[in-house]
Amino acid sequence: MKRNHSAVLLGFVVGSTLALTGCSSAVDHTVAGSIKSALPSAIGPAENYAVTVKTDPIALAQGHLREVDIVGTDVQLSPQLLIDELDIDASDIDINLNTRQVKSVGQVLFLAQVGQDNIDHYIDNEPAGSTQRAEDLKVTVNDHSITARVLVKMLGIDVPASVTGAFEVEPDNPKLLDFVANKGSLSIIPLPQFALNIALQRINPVIDLSDTNVPVTVDQVTIQSGKIIISGEADLQNGLVKSN
């Protein structure tokens, strides 16, 4: 009886692919666990980290991960700043297959969500030497804007002013987030421009990301559904390599 060589070849290819895929899934899980264990040191302590490895069997056999997705909840990004949710997309990660240690990391994009409670905690725990005392500043995160309550000196007297606006990244330092106002008032009286400028000088930068556990560069800040959304790039190279 003649054998169908095409069918035999197809069966071999399919079987080999399934075997590689099975081995790949097991290794993916092991590598994801290894990366997850390194994250508290590389990024900061968190309530939880979830790690998903996306690659293919051939790339994995060469120790290359095409993409790693990380989601952290309640992440202590700096001594003062707790992040509600941190989403990280890392690409082109090379690992040592024998030790499961990270050798190099490519581009890393991040998106951090910070809610009202953690903004309050951050401002209340500003380090000594901040431009604005915590008791003088209150930041309220609205659905699509920010309202800041700050003391403004008028005729030698500090009076509370309400200023509405948004956050912007400082052009010369993408680790600092400034409050940019579109209007301000003393009770129902519009705040003069000079007083508005003084108020902004006292509170900016509102958020300083210079002391984060992982170095970050902020590209954009938006307000969505009562949360501050900070996005940009992070440098995980040293953190992941040293932590493994």
What would the pLDDT profile of 128-181 be if each residue is shown by its tens digit? 445 544 456 788 999 988 888 877 766 677 777 778 888 999 999 999 999 888
Whether residues 147 and 191 fall in one domain = yes
Whether residues 156 and 195 fall in one domain = yes
- The mean pLDDT of 22-46, rounded to a whole number, is 78
Asked if the model's pLDDT at residue 61 lies above 90, the reply is: no
- The mean pLDDT of 95-119, rounded to a whole number, is 89
Q: What percent of the chain has pLDDT over 70?
A: 74
Q: CA 37 to CA 39: how far, in whole Å? A: 6
Whether residues 16 and 51 fall in one domain = yes
Whether residues 123 and 140 fall in one domain = yes
Whether residues 123 and 207 fall in one domain = yes
Whether residues 163 and 205 fall in one domain = yes
The structural domain count of the chain equals 2
Whether residues 74 and 138 fall in one domain = no
Whether residues 120 and 225 fall in one domain = yes
What per-residue confidence (pLDDT) applies to 19? 41
Whether residues 122 and 214 fall in one domain = yes
Alpha helices in 43-109 (DSSP H): 57-61
| 217 Cβ contact partners less than 8 Å away, ≥ 6 residues apart | 174, 175, 232, 233, 234
What per-residue confidence (pLDDT) applies to 7? 39
Whether residues 174 and 89 fall in one domain = no
Whether residues 25 and 92 fall in one domain = yes
Q: Quote the distance between the C-alpha of residue 143 and its chain's center.
A: 20
Whether residues 99 and 67 fall in one domain = yes
Domain span at 153: 116-229
